[in-house]
Amino acid sequence: MLLVPALLSYVVSLAENSSIPWSIQSVEWLRSNGLRGFVNEIENIYYTLTAPSKGGPALKHLPKQVGTAVGTGSGARTGAHHVKTTAKLPVAPHYEPPAIRPLITPALPGEGVWHAPFTGYHGPPPVLITSFRSDPAYPQMVAGVAWIDHTQTSVMLYPGSAEPAVSMPARGPEEIPTSLRYKLVAAFNSGFKLADSGGGFAYGGHTWAPLHNGQATIVRYTNGRMDVIAWPYGPTAPANVQYARQNLPLLVDNGRVNPDINNGADWGATLGNAVQVWRSSLGIDRHGNLIYAAADYQTAASLAQIMIHAGAVRAMELDINAFWPSFITYTGPGAVGAANLLPGMNRSPLRYLTPDERDFFAVYLH
């Protein structure tokens, strides 16, 4: 009889309209109903037993990524589609990041070379992607990286149907609005559940969950400028903040790894900092452009090193575990040619084109 309420709650949870398979729903239900510690311990044991061994045969080629290879300052652009945008012509020379230096020699073909997946207009590439082997001790480990040009794009945050778990009178479309897909170039995952990260959330000029000083925060100001910062403004977002999404402490600050990176308690109530698992991160380079990276079998420290090597001066961890990281690119207007940054990403590249449970970010042409 004591188990009846729990059983009813579980059945109701599984009956909800969701894109998440029942196995993940079950785990999320356990986390939300007093068994977070138990689930974390089971996951910790599982990932420890399945952690990769050092060494082994080197890869012969990198995972395939969409897009046309570009060089720094390259003027070569391709594409049959055209998008009318309000973007101004860039002031020459337009900045594009240098290729990422391979960490393992000999380098594989295309390693660290940027590709432009979106071919929907004849301007500088709004998004560039690449991949590289991130750790010589694990020669089969590949990190996917995306660079988002702040002069060509706007990044919007959308609440999901379940996260953040705050009382909002109108959560919005919970997907990429169809009216904006004509200028959509990329989309990517947000951070942990607020209950797991202890962070705050501000959206649409209103603070829905109190923000915490010192927490790593993705912030968009009302003038359109994006940043990744340690939050300094107190529990309520100031009037010039359009949105703010917090998640754990900064991984990288001033181009250096957080000195507390080995303090597992600082990295949330899920898998901490030391378990090797899928992890994702968002950072910013010294020119104000965003950098996203994700890879399997990462600790918080190794993820921080990936971000630094990719050019981030500040970076924060986003969501982790195999089911949650997503970076999706599109080859043309209307969300055509959807593709994951890495083929090992679990979710469909059509994610975010229908309502999603978690909050996420969409990248548009200006």
Sequence ranges of the domains in the chain: 147-365
Residue found by looking up tokens 């060509």 in the block: 152
Backbone angles phi, psi at 227, to 5 degrees: -155, 160
Give the other-Cβ count within 10 Å of 196's Cβ: 18
* C-alpha pair distances (Å), 361 with each of 85, 191, 290: 20, 10, 12
Is 241's pLDDT higher than 90?
Answer: yes
Average pLDDT of the chain is 88
Q: What is the pLDDT of residue 82?
A: 45
Give the other-Cβ count within 10 Å of 259's Cβ: 8
Q: What is the number of helices (H) and of strands (E) in the chain?
A: 5, 19
Q: What is the pLDDT of residue 42?
A: 78
The pLDDT confidence band at residue 215, using thresholds 50, 70 and 90, is: very high
CA 61, 65, 70 angle in degrees (round to 5)? 100
Q: What is the pLDDT of residue 81?
A: 40
Mean per-residue pLDDT, 317-322 = 94
Give the other-Cβ count within 10 Å of 280's Cβ: 26
Q: What is the pLDDT of residue 274?
A: 73
Cβ neighbours for 87, distance < 8 A, ≥ 6 positions apart: 123, 151, 152, 365, 366
Cβ neighbours for 300, distance < 8 A, ≥ 6 positions apart: 251, 261, 267, 272, 273, 274, 279, 317
pTM of the model: 0.88
Mean per-residue pLDDT, 280-287 = 98
| Percentage of the chain lying above the pLDDT 70 cut | 87
Mean per-residue pLDDT, 208-219 = 98
Is 316's pLDDT higher than 90?
Answer: yes
Segment 10-61, tens digit of pLDDT: 677 666 766 677 677 677 667 677 776 776 777 777 777 777 788 888 898 9
Mean per-residue pLDDT, 229-257 = 98
Backbone angles phi, psi at 316, to 5 degrees: -135, 155
Give the SS3 label for residue 134. coil
* Contact by Cβ (8 Å): 226, 218: yes
Q: What is the pLDDT of residue 89?
A: 45
Give the other-Cβ count within 10 Å of 231's Cβ: 22
Segment 51-110, tens digit of pLDDT: 778 888 889 899 999 887 886 543 333 333 445 444 444 455 789 999 999 999 999 999
* Contact by Cβ (8 Å): 361, 154: no
Higher pLDDT, residue 252 or 205:
252
Q: Is 357 left (phi over 0), alpha (psi -120 to 50) or beta?
A: alpha
CA distance 150 to 254: 20
CA distance 175 to 177: 6
